[in-house]
Amino acid sequence: MAVPTRSSSSLNGRAVVAVLLGLVSAALVPAAIAVAHYTSVDLIEAGYAVPPALLLGLAAVLSARAARRRTERTIGRVGGVRTARVGRILGALGIYLALAGALSLGVYELLQYLSA
């Protein structure tokens, strides 16, 4: 359906922002775990990376949605459909990792409460 035209090569900035936010979101929790592993930071303190990862993931998904809407409004003259899709996938991955981190912190706190 996408017909290559001269104007379809223009950059969709929202799609690029979605990819960047998704990359940071997906990398934040694993990076915090790596920092806890290789430095004197406790693993529980690495849990402070969970809220920013969740917020950045949500921002990436919303930015990807805005990029897709912009492409639809311009009838495909502004590209970035695939880039927006990658941003949405990375944002969802960041959200899933943040939720997994929050769940593990919650289970840890519950076990600490029950063992006392």
pTM to 2 decimal places = 0.87
Domain ranges, ordered by start, for the chain? 10-115
- Tokens (6 digits) for 33: 């775990």
Beta carbons of 115 and 50 less than 8 angstroms apart: no
pLDDT of residue 76: 77
* pLDDT tens digits, 27-37: 999 999 999 99
Nearest to 87 by CA among 69, 109, 110, 63: 63
Beta carbons of 26 and 94 less than 8 angstroms apart: yes
* pLDDT tens digits, 51-69: 999 999 999 999 999 999 9
What's the rounded Cα separation, in Å, for the pair 12 and 106? 39
3-state helix/strand/coil string of the chain: CCCCCHHHHECCHHHHHHHHHHHHHHHHHHHHHHHHHHCCCCCCHHHHHHHHHHHHHHHHHHHHHHHHHHHHHCCCCECCHHHHHHHHHHHHHHHHHHHHHHHHHHHHHHHHHHHC
pLDDT of residue 2: 57
Spans of the chain below 50 pLDDT: none
